[in-house]
Structure 1
């Protein structure tokens, strides 16, 4: 298997290196360090995509390492999973407050290997990198990621979808968001926030929309900031009635995090769709908002697809 991502494991217990190499080595390039300082040295030498660090180590602790990492502009966006055999609420809150992607009890390594693998994959696909992102959107991205990662650790498809869509809706200051699922010819509206669709509008009506047909055909997101005078956008009558000129449409793909990571974060052209998200707003969308929203939704959509299959 072509290993595209490198994981740095920092732990003073050699047995943990052996265990994690055995668990993760077939999917990722594993780099190990015995101390936090050695981990910092490895970060300077190699391209690292994810860090697993113990919280209790001689010298610099995992928390102190995380504090140092957060002040380094080049390293602060690397997802960090804090490991411990003695978890406490205080330590967990401090680690998460400092920017840790997650906090995990080492006992889980022996009891649920798949859970550990899923957590790492979710963090990798959620780590959307967009150069020159305005400060507010960068902060929004981090908050969205942290909230969704917490939900994924304990939620199912419905609750995680609700959480993700509600956060996106609020952060974009949107006026309407609807999420549709599709399985072959069966289309259903899972949820809607803000301005609601007309009562009589349902799956049959969506199927007739030229823009929806285009999404099914091209499998690409779209942005339109002039729905009133454009041939793009669903429900133009509702948009005009409610004063909603701006619309983003996002396809979600039947692809798991593992498959996306294996394909270097690119969605294979023939991948079928399983979902469609529509976001409407009175205020026009910027290009940065469009790029951030579509990338986050499509990449985190791989987590939704995995949870969808667990129903």
Structure 2
């Protein structure tokens, strides 16, 4: 069971226990439920325990020695529950970070000095499968200048000194766009990266949120045509890989893994997992010929999400919207690398 699902279950059980304790008429009647509720609270703090304790305090005499200890326990439990709620709200806000597509300000032409690693040690596999290439100092400087020109806010003083590698993939599903990932390392802190699409006139910062991506898909280039081009199977498949990696669920991205090599690249170091070759069978995309149908393509692909592996059916719509129609579970509890976008920066999820 995923961590978020287990937490929801435990909170539901805690709520039920708390409600039963509130209805108790004596401390002894609630003793067993209180012990279970305390154990759940230690793993998943919520306001269920302090609410139950408040009821039990009222059941005890003023001079009962258990009363003072319960009051202190209830106060601490309430503080723990509120701290977790505050942290979850902060984390949710960080995951919902979104920047609309941006036109470039003036792009600096001067090459910046980057302390690139001779052999880049990327913290994660590429955001999605494709022909990615690490850039040399000159090309990396040009890419960084374009990212800074489109999104100057995160590039404050000292940030550029943290750049350790830049990789790029030429996109076919967005006319004239490159996908770029910039890797940062700052001292002993965990590495992070910024992923962006860089077009001729506009750039898009990939933050794990769909709103900005749909805005980009609705935009037109100077020639009046949309930036998005899913007119053939190759472009449509590339777009699906990009979309799934760029729009995150609660547990991170949906990673399309089309072969066992890519699959194992997403497993933790030293871990390998044997999956039947049948799981990776791919019969291509089916074009929907009816131009009046909003769906352009249909396909079924293998998907890794959090620590679970599925075969999933997708509809790719002409607008760039993607709909997961159904999925079939293949494996669970895999030793997969867990990744997350926080404030628009790609990183390994802290344990």
Instruction: Pick the TM interval, shorter chain.
Output: under 0.3
Q: Whose radius of gyration is greater, 1 or 2?
A: 2
TM-score scaled by length of structure 1: 0.25
- Greater fraction of residues in helix: 1
TM-score scaled by length of structure 2: 0.23
